[in-house]
Amino acid sequence: MPNVTVIGAQWGDEGKGKIVDWLSERADVVVRFQGGHNAGHTLVVGNQVYKLSLLPSGIVRGTLSLIGNGVVFDPWHFAGEVEKLRGQGVTITPENLAVAEQCPLILPLHRDLDALREDAMGAGKIGTTRRGIGPAYEDKAGRRALRVCDLAHLDAIGPQLDRLLAHHNALRAGFGVAAVDRDELVAQLATVAPAVLPYIQPVWALLRDARGRRDRILFEGAQGVLLDVDHGTYPFVTSSNVVAGQAAAGSGMGPSATGYVLGIVKAYTTRVGAGPFPTEQDNATGERLGTRGHEFGTVTGRKRRCGWFDAVLVRQAIAVSGVAGMALTKLDVLDGFETLNICTGYRLDGRIIDQLPAHAADQARLEPLYEAFEGWSESTAGARRWADLPAQAIKYIRRIEELTGCPVALVSTSPEREDTILVRDPFQD
């Protein structure tokens, strides 16, 4: 049975949490491989709503859940999220949750720098979550980060802390902010360390052993391909690689182990924060999509921008991530629209193009070319069989498959985990 890698194929918020939760019933191991606690995943199980941002979605089912080395790790948020989920009745122990030793730590100084930069950028704001994700990845690349394994060796972090503070105190001085209190930071780390230490393990070795047992492994991505630092709408992107190829580097497994790539695709398009959005509907249509889809960020609570389905962007995301099948989510939000529009191409300075240009200035000038599509009046909400879908909704799905060149493997028709239509099982494909 193959392993499965789940990635978002738009700008995030595609409904990955529900799909990973649904798939985790078929998996033995779930591993997060990039991002941090800026990733919001909402799971609805009966009357209970679980909001995750750092922990793998499989933890709610009790599936062995791993935080891979590609994740930037806020130990204070980790401790709080664990306690919150325990309060909701979720069992979390070192037997079903592990954190990679190599994860870079997100520290208070990273959150400070994130906020200072955003406030100083004016019209150039990126629209970050201000949670320190970008600065933490910068320190990892700059070889000055403290890592999860350092929590077990706080008496030996002096030289590394010198490297870190030399960089950050210079930046803070430029912003007119006081230097980091070194002793206070060490004391804070010593206080939070006991909440993390029991979970620290060599995740790569756990995955090696799982593969040796022929366990089914589910690789869980965060954000979406259009936020990838290389392939997204730069500079309005996240600070890590989101494409499926990162599953190998961010977990400690070779690329041959990452298996079937499932791209999560919303039946329309949304985006949080600044940046280009060719099919955005800043009008009554966008309001209707946002209201019906409850489009508010799980992490930030920010209202999401909404627009029509963009086949150009999804086709490009599928290509750069090697997506084998799509999970189409929030189909029910489109119930009752008389006409739906699908973007099939762009016009840029009079030329018709079929891909997203790399430069932000070109992206901002794109004019979407739409294909009008007849909607459906029947409800798709809660459908669990292909035969339960209205004929016109099926035609919409088929048209998306044609335009993106990728088959649909799953269809989600509500936030409830069981309201899912299985077209083809990724674990058996």
- Is the pLDDT at 127 greater than 80, yes or no? no
Average pLDDT over residues 321-326: 96
- Is the pLDDT at 300 greater than 70, yes or no? no
Of 21, 28, 37, 41, catalytic: 41
Predicted confidence at residue 297, as pLDDT, reads: 67
- For 2, 65, 85, 244, 429, the CA distances from 217, given in Å and listed in that order, are 8, 10, 23, 14, 14
Q: Residue 369 forms beta bridges with which residues? A: 345
> How far is residue 313 CA from its own chain's centroid?
17
- Is the pLDDT at 62 greater than 80, yes or no? yes
> Does residue 149 sit in helix, strand or coil?
helix
Which of 247, 244, 145 lies closest to 203, judged by CA?
247
Q: At CA 82, angle to CA 229 and CA 195, rounded to 5?
A: 95
13 flagged as catalytic: yes
The tens digit of pLDDT for each residue in 63-103 reads 999 999 999 999 999 999 999 999 999 999 999 999 999 99
Of 13, 112, 114, 310, catalytic: 13
Mean pLDDT of the chain: 93
Average pLDDT over residues 305-313: 97
Distance of alpha carbon 378 from alpha carbon 64, whole angstroms: 40
Ramachandran angles phi, psi of 3, nearest 5°:
-80, 170
- Per-position DSSP letters for 230-248, written without gaps between them: TTSSTTSS-SS--STTHHH
**What confidence tier does 128 reach under pLDDT thresholds 50, 70, 90?**
confident
Contact between residue 35 and residue 222 where contact means Cβ atoms under 8 Å apart = yes
Q: Angle formed by the axes of helices 75-87 and 182-196, to 10°?
A: 40
State the DSSP code for 122.
Answer: G
- Is the pLDDT at 299 greater than 70, yes or no? no
Instruction: Compute the chain's Rg from CA coordinates.
Output: 22
41 flagged as catalytic: yes
